[in-house]
Amino acid sequence: MKILITGAKGMLAQAVKAKFEKENEVICTDVAELDITDENAVIEYVKEIKPDYIMNCAAYTAVDNAEDNEPLADKINGDGPGNLAKAAKIVDATLVHISTDYVFSGDLELEKSYTEDDKVGPVTAYGRTKLHGEEAVKNNTDKYYIFRTAWLYGEGKNFIRTMTGLGKTHDEVKVVMDQHGSPTYTEDLTNIIYQAVKKNIPYGVYHSTNQGFTTWYEFTQEFFKMQDINCKITPVTSEEFKSKAHRPANSQLSKDKLLNLGIEIPTWQDAVKRYLEVENNI
Ligand SMILES: NC(=O)c1ccc[n+]([C@@H]2O[C@H](COP(=O)([O-])OP(=O)(O)OC[C@H]3O[C@@H](n4cnc5c(N)ncnc54)[C@H](OP(=O)(O)O)[C@@H]3O)[C@@H](O)[C@H]2O)c1
């Protein structure tokens, strides 16, 4: 199989490349090689390469900055996937696109988690642009997978690495306790995509995070404990923490749709353990 991966320097792209290149011909493009906002360039490139799959890992992911740069974020997160979908349709490729839990408002009761059929309603600029991307994909091709993920970490700069660094050098860190979701290891999201492709599951939207739900505060407690870091973690509210984007309070995603198709998804605690083994070379 021939696979085109966009946004090649990104965190998820690295994991997707490593997994799929073992068994497939993989072509990776960064923004300099293929800018997904350039419709003509995307169509010409895809017509030349003729991939079986296009895996779009390119995105504008700076959630707070997007509040002041929504037009640029929208070009990348909204128009870009639309261009890839048009190109995919021309060569009959399947488009794998990555979206986010932030397409939801987050005002769901905490006992519940969002299903793929629940009403969307983003409350951040980033979320609006990603929702535009989902619509652009659906409007331009039928052969697509949209995997909505959340709180991603993997190789490179990420929340665990940043907080671990702070925990080792400070007596106290403050972490938000009122946002609920699922931390997701790039390896595990990649494995979900891999299984979905292998099993040829029906096209559509899938919630694709690690299993189980937590808060940023409890998540930090867990990986500090696993690394014997004795730093005090003070829980704070989103109101106290103050960030530009108003993030959803509950963006818990139900994985039942994938699980019912036999897709295996590890828990977030198991994922953190495996990630730390790699990160700390244990
Ligand atoms: N990170 C998270 O917590 C999270 C949560 C939910 C969903 N997601 C989604 O998961 C996917 C992967 O995220 P990630 O964290 O791996 O992203 P990332 O590390 O920020 O990588 C995104 C990549 O896209 C590239 N890019 C930006 N504009 C581009 C363009 N016009 N054409 C081609 N490439 C372009 C970036 O290049 P430059 O760096 O050179 O600009 C970067 O290498 C994204 O769709 C994201 O929205 C992420």
Q: In the chain, what are the domain boundaries?
A: 2-157+183-212+251-266
Please name every residue paired with 214 in a beta bridge, in sequence order, or none if there are none. Answer: 181
pTM of the model: 0.98
d(CA 229, ligand 1 centre) in Å: 30
Q: Is the CB of 57 under 6 A from ligand 1?
A: yes
126 is catalytic: yes
Average pLDDT in the 89-110 region? 98
Residue 282's pLDDT is: 63
**Angle at which helices 268-279 and 159-169 pack, to 10 degrees?**
70
Question: Hey, what amino acid is at 232?
Answer: K
* CA 42 – CA 189 distance, rounded (Å): 25
Query: If you classify domain 2-157+183-212+251-266 with CATH, what class do you get?
Result: alpha beta
Q: Is the CB of 28 under 6 A from ligand 1?
A: no
Distance CA 235, CA 218 (A): 9
Separation of CA 187 from chain center: 11
Residue 280 banded pLDDT, cuts 50, 70, 90: confident
